[in-house]
Amino acid sequence: MANDREILREIWEGKLPVCFKLDSDEVTDFREPDPFYLMVPRLSYFPLVTDKVRKHFLKYVANDKQEQEMWLEYNGQPLKWHYPIGVLYDLLFGPEDVLPWNLTIHFEKFPETEIYKFSNKEMVESYFMACLKEADVLKHRGQVANKFDQFWSVNRKLMEVSAEHEHFKYIPFRCYIDDGYRQKLVKPLTSDGRKKNTARFDKRDVPWQKY
C-alpha cells in the first residue's frame, strides 16, 4: 500500500472544475445571478463543498424557498450527493461534454424519492460511516477526515488483515451502473489459490455488462 504513495496522493488531490448555475425558472430577483465556479475534490461529497454555492444563490430565490434543501441537477438528472463527486462525474459526464462541468442548482421540488435529504452534515457522516462499516464487515467479519496523512493513518488499520485470517473475507466493491449499483460477494483468492484484486476480476465476479 505504502509503495503506491505517489499515486495515492495524485488520486487524493484530483479536482474537477464545476460551474454552478441557478435554474432560471427559480430566479425571483430582477438580476440574473452570476454563475459560481469552484474546484471540487473528486474524493469528496457535494454537501461538503457547496456551502458557499448555497449562500451565493440564496438571495436570488423566493423568500419562502430559502429554507428548502438545495439540490443539484445535470442534464435533467438529480445528482445523488451520497455518491463521491468523482463517481458522479465518471457516470454522467458524456464524451461530448466540455469542462467546466455545468451543474444546475435547484431549491424547489426536491426529488425525495431519488436522493437523500441532507439537512445537516451528520447525515453525510452517517451515510459515509454506514458504507465504511459495510466494507469492514465484508473484509473482517466486522471485528474491527480530510487530510491525506490523517486519512491514511486510519485507513492503514482498516486495510490490514487480521491475525487469524490470511486474507480479507470478501473484497468490498460496488459497480455503479445506470441508475444504481450492483454488489456481489467476491473472495480475494482465485480458484487456484492465487491472490486476487479488482484488476483480476473476471466475468463471474462482475456479470453486469453495460450495453
| Alpha-carbon gap, residue 193 to 167, rounded angstroms | 11
Specify the 3-state DSSP secondary structure of 195. strand
| Phi and psi, residue 139, nearest 5° | -80, -45
Nearest to 43 by CA among 83, 2, 12, 89: 12
Which residues from 123-152 bind other proteins, rule CB under 8 A? Answer: 123, 125-127, 130, 133-134, 137-138, 141-142
Nearest distance, CB of residue 134 and other proteins, angstroms: 5
Q: Is 116 in the site for other proteins (CB under 8 A)?
A: yes
Which residues from 81-110 bind other proteins, rule CB under 8 A? Answer: 82
Q: Is 202 in the site for other proteins (CB under 8 A)?
A: no
Judged by CB, which is closer to other proteins: 32, or 114?
Answer: 114
Nearest to 43 by CA among 147, 134, 137: 147
Judged by CB, which is closer to other proteins: 95, or 180?
Answer: 180
Total site size for other proteins, rule CB under 8 A: 30
Q: Is 17 in the site for other proteins (CB under 8 A)?
A: no
Which residues from 40-69 bind other proteins, rule CB under 8 A? Answer: none
Instruction: List all residues 6 or more positions away from 180 whose beta carbon is below 8 Å from its beta carbon.
Output: none
Nearest to 99 by CA among 37, 173, 156: 37
What are the residues binding other proteins (CB under 8 A)?
82, 112-117, 119, 122-123, 125-127, 130, 133-134, 137-138, 141-142, 170, 172, 179-185, 208
